[in-house]
Amino acid sequence: MRMSRGFLPTLKEVPAEAQIASHRLMLRAGLIRQTAAGIYAWLPMGLRVLRHIEQVVREEQNAIGAQELLMPTIQSSELWRRSGRYDAYGPEMLRIRDRQDREMLYGPTNEEMITDLVGQTIKSYRELPKTLYHVQWKFRDELRPRFGVMRGREFFMKDAYSFDASYEDAVATYRRMMLAYLRTFQRLGVQAVPMVADTGPIGGNLSHEFLILAPTGESGVFYDAALEEQDWLAEKVDIDDHASLETFFNQVTQSYAATDEMHDQAEWDKVPENRRREGRGIEVGHIFYFGTKYTEGMDISVSGADGAPLYPEMGSYGIGVSRLVAAIIEASHDDAGIIWPASVAPYKAVILNLKPGDKQSDALCEKLYGHAPDALLYDDRNDRPGVKFNDADLMGHPWQMIVGPRGAKEGKVELKHRATGERFDLSVDEALAKVFAP
Amino acid sequence: MRMSRGFLPTLKEVPAEAQIASHRLMLRAGLIRQTAAGIYAWLPMGLRVLRHIEQVVREEQNAIGAQELLMPTIQSSELWRRSGRYDAYGPEMLRIRDRQDREMLYGPTNEEMITDLVGQTIKSYRELPKTLYHVQWKFRDELRPRFGVMRGREFFMKDAYSFDASYEDAVATYRRMMLAYLRTFQRLGVQAVPMVADTGPIGGNLSHEFLILAPTGESGVFYDAALEEQDWLAEKVDIDDHASLETFFNQVTQSYAATDEMHDQAEWDKVPENRRREGRGIEVGHIFYFGTKYTEGMDISVSGADGAPLYPEMGSYGIGVSRLVAAIIEASHDDAGIIWPASVAPYKAVILNLKPGDKQSDALCEKLYGHAPDALLYDDRNDRPGVKFNDADLMGHPWQMIVGPRGAKEGKVELKHRATGERFDLSVDEALAKVFAP
């Protein structure tokens, strides 16, 4: 994208309503604009980040055999009455009456709808297991929306729902999902630690929250440094083998990790002191096994191996995709702006033409830009170099390709790495090779 | 996807509520399920088609320099009061009160919001032109939703909005968009004819509907066969040159084309008889220039070349993405089921294993499937060949790769072309080459 043509409005002033870094930076860098309390429009650069995150999430869901579908945003109250949640759900549910005075709602989650869909469709235990997910807009009518998309009202979420024929299968599904989550967050370039979470009346230990470490996090977190050291993408797990999944799961859960809510001082004291990590975290994912709560509650069964009705065992698994944009920024920024991990960055690099109109500079920039115009941002604006440097740092592209008249004469690009500040004097081919290295 | 694991529920019974072919076929082939009146869940196969259409639409929007952003589904009534449309809009608008008793609505369209966003952001005529679009869920509370996603309440739409500094620039933008639409529909494998539409109080001739020809269409259409013969993808148009755009536009609009509403018998009589085409059509797109209606109405201006306030000239441009799924089926099916154009088909081909358990058949099928598991459907179910043939025809994949024990012994695949019924006896490599030919 050429910045002279793009819709990339930056702000010089720090907006007064923005209390945390990610909210300030998302407004200043032109990722979002508020259109109503807790509701945001995603401008082109913000949307690119959102889509990149969505795609990583999708690929890792597909990799464990989850299947994507898409449920609507507006639901009928009738479904929620069947589960008993229509009256139980608080004022966070956006309730609507349509023109025929039917009670509808904007879905905050989809347990009821997916359970009903599966009930209409799946008749036998032989058709299980099934894990289904969608990435869809949801609404929670927060009383005090704040922190930008971190706690907005309309938000974008991946929610998966699993249906298994037995508890053992459900446990295997849960473990597969934990692996998918660890891989997802690693690919997103953030440290997200799984913490055991409250299971309420369900019991057991099959509920984990994933928290991204960031000083502005809403929860205190305590965890064993062992959890930082794993390369989950390299980890060999046979997802079709229950024993392999169990080994993996034990390896994750043997290390202490808890939010302040669930913190256990006695267990914490057993962690060797040099491995104790304390900090704050932002919840970006939650996986939860809840058994037959909805299938029994809504009386949705399939025929079991013995011919008798069988209530599938369920779990649900959420990732806050729009919230992740803010959480990644909280975890990865400095005073000058955002520092995007390469996997989610809106563009691989920005080309800074320090002197538009200088023939050699223009030609060199066009050559760079022509290599991948969809993946590069070209700052071709008639602005001072200082403005361009500042905007580049603010927007946080992983690389800056700096082209001035002196270097251009020799066919040289100055490459700056946003995260480390390292600089390299390179030829066009060398610079492109570095920016597009896999 | 292996069908034994997929969530691909077909229906044998024709659902009583489905009155038109596309609705029946979308339910029977397992593309959608209704979750409330006029509201549908998109099952995995339907979602794949929806995404393929969305992606073609996106690529052609980007190709003319339109920029994608994403506006939220829920809007504040305040914006609509500023344009005067809040009270004017009928009961099709889904009106909502949030927990603070603020009047909100589920957006049926986004003129107000985008105009406000542009007004907040763009200060000078120098930043124009800008064409912005999004692909987002919308809601129209139809009194009698019917025909499945053809006239649903929650629907998926691409809507673009253009802002130009002069009438001449706005005309060029309009013509660019017409080119993008013609190319989009051609890539989608359907004949969509642009028909001059009513411009109401705006006047002029800058309003066109695009109708897909199908016997169940809601409008009668009359057009010159010349419009069928163009290859818009091969057409050389310099989109940065006003004269080139004008030549292209005149070439399109010189041929007669009108719906029954706008039909002009005297003009029709001038079309040579052998070139007169009459039929029915389904509206799938609409492009519309409306000048300063919203910018003046909402008092949103930029500074002009002379320093005085300038109201940008606007147009809006819609494509009904979810409706297109149904419209394409109306235009492309037979008694046995759907016939997907290759560009939107959920899978490139289905592999029919006629005898699962036969070692050579299984091995051959796995070899085919392993070539591109993301783009192929593998019918590995323990079902009779007749069931598989019927489902394959119903689901409408462009190609069927039929593998039986006899052929498998010789390493042969029978390839069937769904649209023509042609059959070919081929080696694995030959069959894959044909299926994945560009």
Answer whether residue B240 shows pLDDT above 80. yes
Residue A46: is it exposed, middle or buried by C-beta count within 10 angstroms (0-12/13-18/19+)? buried
Structure tokens at A195: 């913490």
Q: pLDDT tens digit string along B137-151?
A: 999 999 999 899 999
ipTM of the complex: 0.96
CB atoms < 10 A from the CB of A16, how many?
A: 6
Indicate whether B200 pLDDT > 80.
no
Say if residue A392 is in the same domain as residue A263: no
**In A, residues 310-369, which contact B (CB 8 Å cutoff)?**
none
> Do the domain assignments include residue B378?
yes
CB–CB of B39 and A94 under 8 A? Answer: no
- Total domains present in chain B: 2
Residues B319 and B400 in one domain: no
Q: So what's the pLDDT on residue B303? A: 97
Sort out which chain B residues have CB atoms less than 8 A from A42's CB and list them: 69-71
**Residue A416, by phi and psi: left (phi above 0), alpha (psi -120 to 50) or beta?**
beta
Nearest in space to A392 (alpha carbons), one of A374, A418, A366:
A418
Determine the pLDDT at residue B16. 84
- Facing residue for B67 by CB, picked from A7, A33, A141: A7
- The better pLDDT of the pair B198, B297 is held by B297
Nearest alpha-carbon partner for A143 in A133, A152, A135: A152
- The pTM (predicted TM-score) of the whole model is 0.97
- State how far residue A1 is from chain B, nearest Cα, in angstroms: 9
Same domain, B226 and B266: yes
B2 occurs within a structural domain: no
From CA B134, how far away is CA B26, in angstroms rounded?
Answer: 25
Q: What is the pLDDT of residue A228?
A: 87
> Region B49-73: what's the mean pLDDT?
98
Distance CA A332, CA A341 (A): 8
Mutate to test the interface with B, among A80, A104, A239, A302 (most CBs of B within 10 A): A104
Q: Where are the beta strands (DSSP E) in A305-427?
A: 309-310, 313-320, 333-334, 337-338, 349-353, 376-379, 399-403, 412-417, 423-427
And the tokens for B41? 């869940």
Contact predicate A285/A209, CB 8 Å: yes
- What percent of chain B shows pLDDT beyond 70? 100
Q: Is the same domain home to A357 and A317?
A: no
Closest CB from A36, A71, A153 relative to B75: A36
C-alpha distance from A54 to closest chain B C-alpha (Å):
14
Interface of A with B in 83-102 (CB under 8 A): 91-92, 94, 96, 98-100, 102
> B355 and B311, same structural domain?
no
> Looking at beta carbons, which residues of chain A come within 8 Å of B164?
none
- pLDDT, residue B201, reads 73
Residue A68: domain span: 21-337
Q: Which of A5, A33, A70 sits opposite B120 (nearest CB)?
A: A33
Do A406 and A280 have their domain in common?
no
Domain-embedded: residue A343: no
Is position A4 within any domain?
no
Which residues are within 8 A (CB) of A244 and not within 5 positions of it... i.e. 6 or more apart? A237, A238
By C-alpha distance, the chain A residue nearest B144 is A100
Residue of A70, A130, A153 lying closest to B7 (CB–CB): A130
Q: Do the chains contact at B7 and A132, CB–CB below 8 Å?
A: yes
Residue A406 lies inside a defined structural domain of this protein: yes
Q: Which of B13, B51, B45, B20 is nearest to B32 (CA)?
A: B45
Give yes or no for a contact between B332 and B341, defined as CB atoms under 8 angstroms apart: yes
Residues of B in contact with A76 (CB under 8 A): 35-36, 39
List of chain B residues whose C-beta atoms are within 8 Å of the C-beta of residue A71: 35, 41-42
pLDDT value at position A396? 98
Shortest distance between the Cα of B1 and any Cα of chain A, in A, equals 9
User: Which residues of chain A make contact with B9, given a CB cutoff of 8 A?
Assistant: 121-122
Residue A164 — φ and ψ, nearest 5°? -125, 160
Q: Do A100 and A71 sit in the same domain of this protein?
A: yes
Q: What is the pLDDT of residue A258?
A: 94
* Angstroms from B96 CA to nearest CA on chain A: 6
Which of these three, A337, A367, A382, is where a domain ends?
A337
pLDDT in tens, B260-290: 999 999 999 999 999 999 999 999 999 999 9
Nearest to A156 by CA among A78, A51, A274: A51
* Domain CATH code at residue B283: 3.30.930.10
Of A69, A91, A143, the CB nearest to B41: A69
Q: Is residue A2 part of a domain?
A: no
Could you tell me if B369 and B307 lie in one domain?
Answer: no
Q: What is the mean pLDDT of residues B373-399?
A: 97
Which of A41, A71, A143 has its CB closest to that of B70? Answer: A41
Is B36's CB within 8 Å of A76's CB?
yes
Model confidence at B80: pLDDT above 90 = yes
Nearest CB to B76 within list A35, A72, A106:
A35
B145 and B283 inside one domain: yes
Is A9 an 8 Å CB contact of chain B?
Answer: yes
Name residues 28-57 of chain A within 8 A of B (Cβ): 33, 35-37, 39-44, 46-47, 50
- Residue pLDDT tens, chain A, 438 long: 999 999 999 998 877 889 999 999 999 999 999 999 999 999 999 999 999 999 999 999 999 999 999 999 999 999 999 999 999 999 999 999 999 999 999 999 999 999 999 999 999 999 999 999 999 999 999 999 989 999 999 999 999 999 999 999 999 999 999 999 999 999 999 999 999 988 877 777 799 999 999 888 989 999 999 998 889 999 999 999 999 999 999 999 999 999 999 999 999 999 999 999 999 999 999 999 999 999 999 999 999 999 999 999 999 999 999 999 999 999 999 999 999 999 999 999 999 999 999 999 999 999 999 999 999 999 999 999 999 999 999 999 999 999 999 999 999 999 999 999 999 999 999 999 999 998
Q: How far is A266 from chain B (nearest CA, A)?
A: 43
Measured between CA atoms, the residue of chain A closest to residue B62 is: A374
Do residue A73 and residue B137 have CB atoms under 8 angstroms apart? Answer: yes
With respect to residue B290, please indicate whether it lies within any of the assigned structural domains: yes
Q: Is the per-residue pLDDT at B203 higher than 90?
A: no
Q: Mean of the per-residue pLDDT values for chain B?
A: 96
Final residue in a domain of this structure, among B315, B337, B359: B337
A137 to B141: CB separation less than 8 angstroms, yes or no: no
Does residue B111 sit at the A interface (CB-CB below 8 Å)? no
Interface check A397 vs B, CB under 8 A: no
Q: Is there a domain that residue B13 lies in?
A: no
Question: At which of A315, A337, A359 does a domain end?
Answer: A337
Residue B373 belongs to a domain with what CATH number? 3.40.50.800
Q: What's the whole-number mean pLDDT along residues B16-41?
A: 95
Does residue B182 carry a pLDDT above 80?
yes
Cα A288 to Cα A136: distance, rounded to the nearest angstrom: 19
Domain identity same for A260 and A386: no
Do A183 and A256 have their domain in common? yes
The DSSP annotation for B363-415 comes to HHHHHHHHH-TTTEEEE--S--HHHHHHHHHHHT-SEEEEE-HHHHHTTEEEE
Same domain, A229 and A275: yes
Shortest Cα distance from B48 to chain A (angstroms)?
9
